[in-house]
């Protein structure tokens, strides 16, 4: 979907309106109030004209008092209508973006991991936050208000010609110049805004990535380089905004000059008219108000069209994300009550991009309750195997079966509920330890969390923390050590009681003492569960029932620890390398 930025893109408006339907009552009341305000506004100058000509000029004090009270009542009514109009249009906008944001987030969390491999997180944050806020402006400052202003202009011009056509022509003489200036402003601000949205996305992406990876920046002493890069991006963002400000700074003075010229011409002609009898003093005073009422909406229309245009651009960007079909196909219907955990990979071929094969004809079988270990050099395809088992990615060829049923035939949630995953890089949310373990699953009780913590020996460090299990771990678990985060991930896996357990480099980044704890926890976790263990430390997988050795996406060796040592192949070389490294350290 191309981003056109048209102010009235009816297909986009129609899609946005689908989210208005649940709030039609508010929408129609807002439309009614818009029409009411548009009609009431031009009545006030008419009342002023009538009061001057019929009561003030004739010295009718009672009539003046009555008209004054009537005008005050009209102003109060108009203020009340304006209040409810503003309140309802903003309520409508916020309600729409609330529903749209929920739907967008639901769509994003169902994307497969391949989408996130190619999409900057900062771009998605921009779509979720600032772009959606711009859509709210369609209702609070855009379409409905534009309709009201246009209607008021039509009514106003009609009344002006009805009151005095000569003064009307003089008052409107500068309008063609104003329309030309407005058109130039609208075209210029459109391009400036599109550039602003692009720079906002770039800025969000940079900040999100670099704050997340701040430790890398500081470890490698790249603060100055990254600061210079940030200044460059920030400068482009500021320049884009300044271009928009420049258009405003030129346009508004032009409008004021044309408005003043129109007012001056009208007063000149009106003064002459009062002398020759072609105009009354009341008409002149009324036309002063008419001109102010005329130029204000024309001046603001350019800004409101820009707001509507910004909403269209943001809507297109959001709908482009929502139209992206990158979710894992969930056409399966099998929802097992209790799986055994038998795993079969049959001639599996997989590539992340095109035909750059990561896995080549992978076949293996894991019996229920047994442990399979996978070893190999970085990039051999170890992590890809477990990603495929969870259906984070889809295979290109072959099949993967659990208990003899193709994993694509399982309902996706039912499949993943039976698989627990402990990653090398543990991700913890900015929340309490208990909530990071249960992931806010209310079926998991605090007693179960405490029992699981004791089972893996993590209760010792948790009990030393302030508030214990309610201790807030900070963003990404930054207040805990690597080993402590790893232990929490083990507790999380334990309380979910999976039939299939996956451990990906679970002991590769921790100290010896914590490794012993995790090794103990691993033994507990893998009891009576089908387990797949990926590890660089071969000492941790010697008890595995079967070990696969991967090299460039192919299985080159398989067997248990002793069998592989006897084969005198790649596994033995890896084992000897690690053993020699340890001797050197000693």
DSSP secondary structure of 277-312: TSS-HHHHHHHHHHHHHHHHHHHHHHHHHHHHHHHH
Q: pLDDT (tens digit, 9 = 90+) per residue, 72-120?
A: 998 999 899 989 988 888 888 888 888 888 888 888 877 777 777 677 7
Q: Which two tokens stand for residue 537?
A: 């430390």
Question: Is residue 559 classed as helix, strand or coil in its secondary structure?
Answer: strand
Of 161, 174, 145, nearest to 286 by C-alpha is 161
Q: Which domains does the chain have, with CATH numbers?
A: 10-322 (1.20.1560.10), 336-418+536-586 (3.40.50.300)
Residue 135 has pLDDT above 60, yes or no: yes
Q: Which two tokens stand for residue 443?
A: 């079926």
Q: pLDDT (tens digit, 9 = 90+) per residue, 404-414?
A: 888 888 888 88
Q: pLDDT (tens digit, 9 = 90+) per residue, 136-157?
A: 777 777 677 788 888 888 888 8
| Segments in 472-560 forming alpha helices (H) | 482-495, 512-526
52's enclosing H/E stretch is none
What is the distance between the alpha carbons of residues 457 and 59, in angstroms, rounded to a whole number?
97
Of 441, 439, 437, nearest to 468 by C-alpha is 437
* Distance from chain centroid for Cα 500: 33
Residue 12 has pLDDT above 70, yes or no: yes
Q: What percent of the chain has pLDDT over 70?
A: 92
| Residue 3 pLDDT | 42
DSSP annotation of 328 reads P
| Residue 7 pLDDT | 52
Q: Tell me how far CA of residue 401 lies from CA of 113, 340, 368, 556, in angstroms.
A: 21, 12, 13, 22
| Residue 508 pLDDT | 53
Q: Which two tokens stand for residue 568?
A: 């005198």
Give pTM, 2 decimals: 0.69
Under 8 Å CB-to-CB from 198, ≥6 apart: which residues? Answer: 240
Question: pLDDT band for position 579 (50/70/90)?
Answer: low
Look at the block and give the residue holding tokens 């070990």: 547
The answer to whether the beta carbons of residues 342 and 404 sit under 8 Å apart is yes
What is the distance between the alpha carbons of residues 99 and 549, in angstroms, rounded to a whole number?
49
What is the distance between the alpha carbons of residues 356 and 568, in angstroms, rounded to a whole number?
30
Question: Is residue 361 classed as helix, strand or coil in its secondary structure?
Answer: strand
Question: pLDDT band for position 4 (50/70/90)?
Answer: very low
Q: pLDDT (tens digit, 9 = 90+) per residue, 298-353?
A: 777 767 777 777 777 788 888 888 877 766 677 778 888 778 888 888 888 888 87
Rg, C-alpha atoms of the chain: 35
Residue 514 has pLDDT above 70, yes or no: no
| Residue 585 pLDDT | 32
Q: Which two tokens stand for residue 74?
A: 């009209």
Of 444, 443, 427, 422, nearest to 525 by C-alpha is 422
* Beta strand extents in 412-504 (DSSP E only): 419-422, 500-504
Q: Which two tokens stand for residue 542?
A: 């010697």
Residue 526 has pLDDT above 50, yes or no: yes
Residue/partner pairs of 269-274 with CB below 8 Å, 24 or more apart: 269/166, 269/167, 269/170, 270/167, 273/164, 273/166, 273/167
Q: pLDDT (tens digit, 9 = 90+) per residue, 202-224?
A: 887 788 777 767 767 776 677 78
């Amino acid at each position: 979907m191309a981003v056109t930025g048209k102010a009235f893109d009816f297909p986009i408006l129609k899609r946005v309106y689908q989210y208005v339907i649940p709030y039609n009552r508010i929408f129609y009341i807002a439309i009614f109030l818009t029409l009411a305000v548009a009609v009431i506004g031009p009545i006030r100058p008419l009342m002023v004209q009538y009061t001057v000509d019929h009561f003030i000029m004739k010295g009718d004090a009672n009539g003046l008092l009555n008209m004054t009270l009537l005008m005050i009542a009209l102003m109060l009514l108009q203020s009340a209508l304006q209040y409810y109009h503003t309140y309802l249009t903003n309520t409508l906008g916020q309600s729409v973006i609330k529903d749209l944001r929920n739907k967008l987030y639901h769509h994003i969390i169902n994307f497969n991991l391949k989408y996130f491999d190619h999409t900057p997180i900062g771009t998605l944050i921009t779509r979720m936050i600032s772009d959606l806020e711009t859509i709210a402006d369609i209702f609070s400052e855009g379409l409905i208000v534009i309709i009201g202003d246009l209607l008021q202009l039509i009514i106003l011009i009609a009344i002006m010609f009805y009151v005095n056509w000569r003064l009307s022509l003089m008052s409107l003489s500068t309008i063609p110049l104003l329309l030309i200036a407005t058109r130039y402003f609208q075209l210029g601000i459109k391009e400036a805004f599109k550039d602003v949205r692009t720079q906002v996305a770039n800025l969000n992406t940079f900040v999100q990535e670099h704050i997340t990876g701040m430790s890398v920046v500081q470890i490698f002493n790249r603060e100055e380089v990254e600061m210079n890069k940030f200044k460059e991006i920030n400068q482009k963002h500021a320049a884009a905004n300044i271009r928009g400000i420049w258009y405003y700074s030129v346009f508004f003075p032009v409008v004021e000059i044309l408005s003043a010229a129109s007012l001056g011409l009208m007063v000149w002609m009106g003064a002459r008219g009062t002398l020759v009898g072609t105009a009354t003093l009341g008409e002149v005073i009324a036309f002063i108000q008419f001109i102010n009422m005329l130029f204000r909406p024309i001046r603001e229309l350019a800004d409101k069209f820009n707001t509507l245009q910004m909403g269209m651009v943001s809507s297109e960007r959001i709908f482009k994300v929502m139209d992206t079909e990158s979710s894992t196909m969930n056409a399966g219907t099998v929802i097992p009550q209790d799986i055994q955990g038998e795993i079969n990979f049959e001639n599996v071929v997989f590539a992340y991009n095109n035909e750059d094969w990561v896995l080549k004809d992978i076949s293996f079988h894991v019996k229920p309750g047994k442990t399979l270990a996978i070893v190999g050099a970085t990039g051999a395809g170890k992590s890809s195997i477990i990603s495929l088992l969870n259906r984070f990615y889809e295979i290109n060829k072959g099949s993967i079966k659990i208990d003899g049923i193709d994993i694509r035939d399982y309902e996706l949630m039912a499949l993943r509920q039976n698989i627990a995953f402990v990653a090398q890089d543990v991700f913890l949310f900015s929340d309490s330890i208990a909530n990071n373990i249960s992931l806010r699953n209310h079926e998991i009780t605090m007693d179960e969390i405490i029992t699981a913590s004791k089972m893996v020996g993590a209760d010792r460090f948790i009990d030393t923390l302030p508030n214990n299990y309610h201790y807030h771990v900070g963003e990404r678990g930054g207040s805990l050590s690597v080993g402590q985060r790893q232990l929490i991930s083990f507790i999380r896996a334990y309380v979910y009681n999976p039939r299939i357990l996956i451990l990906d480099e679970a002991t590769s980044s921790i100290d010896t003492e914590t490794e012993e704890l995790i090794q103990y926890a691993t033994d507990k976790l893998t009891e009576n569960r089908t387990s797949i263990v990926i590890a660089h430390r071969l000492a941790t997988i010697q008890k595995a029932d079967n070990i696969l050795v991967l090299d460039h996406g192919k299985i080159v060796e398989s067997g248990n620890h002793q069998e592989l040592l006897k084969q005198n192949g790649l596994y033995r070389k890896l084992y000897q390398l690690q053993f020699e490294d340890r001797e050197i350290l000693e």
